[in-house]
A and B are shown apart, each in its own frame.
Chain A
Amino acid sequence: MSVIWHPQDAAEAIRLKETFGAEGRFISGGTWLSVQWENGAPRPGHLIDVSAIPAMRGIAVQSKALTLGAMTPLSVARRDPLIGKSFPLLREAARSIAAPSIRNLGTIGGNIACKTGDLLPALLVCDAELNWHDGHRLITESASDWLNGTRGETKPPDGLLLQVKLALKETPMFEGAAERVIEGYHKIGRREAFTPSVVTAAYRAVLSPEGVVQSIRLAAGGGLMIPQRLTESESLLIGRMMSPKLMERLYEVILREVQPRQDAFVSCEYRKQTTAAVMSAGLWQTYREAASA
């Protein structure tokens, strides 16, 4: 039986965590943790319920950025109009997670902190920043840096994730002017809904009117894999014109670069192949559709 603590601010939560060390665990919705416990993970002696911490709640727009409190439920991320308009990949990711009752409980913060959440690939291609409290001060780091930094670590983060910050893109002055954005998010599971991810792939490209890739983000995850930016694959595309030949090469590079983890149900081979396929074909199809529109 765990003792449950209800800190009223971030500093108190961190103090509790420092006091209990590995025996203390932050908890928000608890949906992911309860699955771990059901599957045999030890229950910590102390649960630190972070739901009352004001800084972790709410959605705010400030200085051209959207700030999402870590306690924002996945169901809110799924239906919030501003998120839907400005970050459709994030909405799509939230839509694909678990089932309604779980989305009502599960939070953005929890999905990130568990390190394998399906939001992460979407957050990576949106250049999300994470605001942490380490007990003394606020730290901001990119989701990509944080994931890279924690790669290989199995222990949960010591700091407390307060917010996720997403830069709002400026609206172009004229319709159809200049650059085009093509983006997509694909989650492939073992069934159509309410399924653990086998492959999660997200991409976001900014193209010149001629179809030259000006900026590109590719991110992959799925299963036990810590989601990663595919930087080598991104380098292949940057500055190049979209073409079937380029996509053929992209498929190959992704196949080589992505590092999925296999489990009892799905092989690495399938995960690599599917990541490469949905990402390259998705990019190409979206590009063609945008071109013909």
Chain B
Amino acid sequence: MGFFKEMLNNNRRKSRPMPGKSTLTPRPVFPTVQENIQYLKEALFHTDDLVRQKVSIPGYTSEFLFMYTMCDQSKIREEIFKPILENKDGDLEGILISMRANKHDDLEKVIDLVVKGNAVLFIEGMEDCFVIEVGSSHVRNVTEPNNEKVVEGSHEGFVESVSINLQLVRKHIENRNLVVKRYKLGNETKIEAVIVYLQNLANPELIEEVDRRIQNIDADNISSSEFIEEYIEDKTFSPFPQLLHTERPDRVIGNLLEGRVALLAEGSPTALIMPVTFFAFYQSPDDYSFRSLQGSFIRFIRVCSFVFAIALPAYYIAVVSFHYEVIPEDLLLPIKSSIENIPFQPILEALFMELTIELLREAGIRLPGPVGQTIGIVGGLVIGDAVVKAGLVSNTMIIVVALTAIASFVVPSHEMSASVRMLRFPIMVAASLFGFIGIVYSLMIILIHLCSLESFGTPYLAPIAPFRWKDLKDTIIRMPQWALRQRSQDPAPQKLNQQSQPVEEERSDD
């Protein structure tokens, strides 16, 4: 039991001692260039991409060392050789200044810097060495993320570099309260991860909790933000995602302004937002760029799609196998004639079609663009048509499955879409065993689970359970911007009011 308990609770629950960060003893710089270079080469195990090169600074014997795989040749020319050539008769001080070199006296630190893509300059007889930044960087352009397209609004998307992502966020929140906290994660990978929040909004307890969970990660391989998710979420074995993934800066900014925390990490364009509620997964930046009525309409349809995606096939199975008396009279004959000749039970039909759609989806992703589309058409039209003609699946089942698939792809978040698609299978099985009773029971279990789920201490199903009337204004519908006077309560922000009372002014419509 204890083992399962630990497994289900994520071992983070117990406050473990901080993982022992191995601290290396500082190693002072040797007096001769030769000794220094030898030490570095030993420390890096004579890796072949480490290159040494002599430079002639008048009056000094000097040599520099860099990893050519991590450095930019033109930068080396620009930053190292050019200053020396230009200052032929100048003093060493001047040369170093124009090199923009940093003084270091600990060789261990210098080794880490060399691995990162810096060049290190040793000068005979000096007690310090000089580190010059010549790293090459390849950064993708800031483009609109493919998986989170919007019709209107900003088309910026995050890239794989934390510093650029942070810049994208800061550009839109010019505020001294925006705080960035850095972490080095992964004992071997040592990637940079940051959490971002607004000091005057985010709840200090929340920050503390997030900080504690991140500090407690003790793993060798953390190579992107998605890796971190499973270490810090509340219940890993819940079918529902408890952190919101997004590649859109505007989504991150919107959430920061509600008092939430965003986590960004080097190597992935995905930001994780915490804490989130169930309904956050059904919000899209589009709702805010449209006007309130249209935004509300679209969002309402999206939330309804959750119910459709999760229960429609189960409802159909229950109706045709248990409660055919529910079908209206005029529909009875068409449905009966289409089901009559199918040799399988409805549940088998449904499972077959649902799994086919899952296969098509997966195949469409893996194949290159144009081929993926072809697969979609071949799968959707040809197989769908042929399967009915062959008498394997009924017409109505195809309609139900197709509607369900569309409904499950409406969710603006991929993780939620995946969990919805997964959850409908148990409900389908329950419906085929017990009819409506089975559906109601499995939905009740899901609701109970949602009620008990928490994301970083805030209830997952807020503002419906616990019921907060005031927060409903931006949940299933979106009230006009000026009516959203207060932030939603679920992340427990320090400041609830976000705008002053709208001025009552006479507005005539004529």
Q: Do A and B come from one complex?
A: no
What residues make up the interface of A, taking CB atoms closer than 8 Å to B?
none
What residues make up the interface of B, taking CB atoms closer than 8 Å to A?
none
